Amino acid sequence: MSDKIGVGIHGAGWVAGEHLNAYMGNPHCEVVAVSSRKEESARAAAENCGAPDATIYTDYEKFLEDERVQLLSICTPSHLHVAEGVAAAQAGKHFIMEKPMALDVDGIYALRDAVREAGVKTVVSFVLHWCPSLINAKKFIEANAIGNIFYVETDYWHGVDDWYSGWEWAITRAQGGSSFLFGGCHAVDAARWLTDLDIVEVAAFGGGWDKRYEYPATCVGIVKYSNGAIGKISSSVDLISPYQFNIDILGDQGAIRDNKLWSRTLQPEASDWTVTPAILPDSGDVEHHPFEGEIDHMVDCVLNDVESDVNIEDAVNTHETCVAMDMSIEQDGATVKLPLK
């Protein structure tokens, strides 16, 4: 029996390859199983990452019965996440779940409750927690560089078209959910994580031009945070331009704009923004995303028996905010207060 953590991947699409590569790069992990509804996809994923001897499954229940699998990544379409996450928790497996973790309030709480009961470690794949420019922004805020925060704005702008491998399910309400659930949840999570504030109230409107989507492709919401701060969060998946992820955070001693800082406390004599060169979240390509940091973090949580700060429990407020945005859009901008349940 290997002394390494036995790892499995469920779902063998585009993003699964990056999870597999990151696991293969972690010295504490051994990829022992790959699961997919298509045997050829699972086998190709195993071979491409350098784990040709991994066991291939086309039955998720049998995959979960594999005692060697201690930790898994769930990389399947969004509408399957709740049932698969609940099953993984009940099987006693630690897991990373691709976002969104759920598409409705009942699913959010069903998943949270299953993880609570099982006591397994989880990470929701908000991979920007390991993006260098966001890490710098987080450190500046923790150092009180901008003081008390009173305004927070984030934007997820990613023009998604039929080049995307999950296009057919992503554009539907039943499987893709909404603009915020499909991708804008990254912007919601970033606002919450950087500031350590929950969102308590939203009012939103939807629009956009691409009518192939079953939901408004471009949406914007005004939000109120738990400390009384206000802000704006937007999501556009029918953008006609390169990928863009914007961050603006205002405090009573300074401000952060992406990788730029203005601070009375740290740089009282500055005459312009201070730019910190660092990798920005400026690509929607999963090969650009820092999955190595995410996987290493999860492995550390398992090895040291500690909770992640981006686990299922934490992600409840992010996902409730996305659902509340959609509710407000359907009610022509009506205010929706959180929590929803």
Predicted pLDDT of residue 288: 87
Q: State the amino acid at position 175 in one-letter form.
A: Q
Cβ distance 257 to 238 under 8 Å? no
Please report the pLDDT score of residue 1 as a whole number: 47
Nearest of 157, 144, 333 to residue 249 by alpha carbon? 144
What is the pTM (predicted TM-score) of this model?
Answer: 0.97
Q: Could you give the CA distance from residue 290 to residue 21 in angstroms, rounded to a whole number? A: 11
CATH architecture of the domain with residue range 5-127+292-311: 3-Layer(aba) Sandwich (3.40)
Cα separation, 100 vs 83, in Å, equals 13
Residue numbers in the chain where pLDDT is lower than 70: 1-2
Q: Which H or E run includes 45?
A: helix 39-49
CA–CA gap between residue 131 and residue 245 (Å, rounded)? 12
pLDDT of the residue at 2: 65
**Comparing C-alpha atoms, which of 274, 278, 233 is closest to residue 254?**
274
Closest CA to 60 of 48, 42, 78, 40: 42
Tokens of 70: 């201690």
Neighbours of 166 (CB within 10 A): 17
By the 8 A CB rule, do 249 and 170 touch?
A: no
Under CATH, what is the fold of the domain 132-282+318-337? Dihydrodipicolinate Reductase; domain 2 (3.30.360)
How many Å apart are CA 67 and CA 128, to the nearest integer? 31
Q: Tell me how crowded residue 309 is: count the other CB atoms within 10 A of its CB.
A: 13
User: Which one, of 22, 26, 20, 17, lies nearest residue 8 by Cα?
Assistant: 20
Q: Cis bond leading into 281, ω under 30°?
A: no
Q: What does the domain layout of the chain look like in residue ranges?
A: 5-127+292-311, 132-282+318-337
- Residue-wise pLDDT for 319-330, tens only, equals 999 999 999 999
Q: Give the span between the Cα atoms of 39 and 59, in whole angstroms.
A: 10
